Every structure is written in C-alpha cells, then in structure tokens.
Amino acid sequence: MSLQKVVWLVIGLISFLYLLNPTFGFLELIPDNIPIIGNLDEGAAAILFVAALREFGIDLSGAFTGRSGNNKKIEPTQKEIKPHKDDKKSDGNEG
C-alpha cells in the first residue's frame, strides 16, 4: 500500500471516529453550542470521510446530487417497440 493510501486511510478512520462521537464531547474541536460555527467540525469530518472513501473507490457523490457517481448512462431495460410496416394504414385515418 502506498503512502498516499495510508494517509487517506488514517484520515478516513479519524473522521469516521469523530463522526461517531458528535454529542459526547470526548473529542470536540469546536463546541456545538456556539451558534452558526458549532457544527463546522462535523461538516469538515464528513467531507474528509467522503473524500477518503472516494480514494478507495467508493463514490458517494450520487447520494448527494441525485446522479450516479460514475456518470455512466443507464440504458432502459426494454427496447422501444416499433410498429411493423404492414400494421400502418395507408390513408393515415384511424377510423
């Protein structure tokens, strides 16, 4: 495993452990009771955790954007049924 992978693994583990303990205050960089900025540390930990998962091939960006993370086009399972040329009426009237 390369040094970069080890660093991302450590960042991912620390951020995951930090997110598991948001209200106990065991390890709190910014106290949650400070208005507006109190939850910034949890937000940063979540961003780092998602980035670490992406480094290991797990892309969760589709969960936040509503799109697939790999940007592959999903083909429909059924093909469009086209009418046979003998089924068409020659005059164009449906009566």
Model confidence over 25-50: pLDDT tens digits?
566 777 777 887 878 888 888 999 99
| Residue 77, in any domain of the structure | no
From its phi and psi, is residue 34 left (phi > 0), alpha (psi between -120 and 50) or beta? beta
Domain count, the chain: 1
| Residue 54, in any domain of the structure | yes
| Residue 29, in any domain of the structure | yes
| Residue 12, in any domain of the structure | yes
pTM, 2 dp:
0.58
Range of the domain at 46: 3-65
| Residue 89, in any domain of the structure | no
DSSP per position, 71-87 = -PPPPPSSPPPPPPGGG
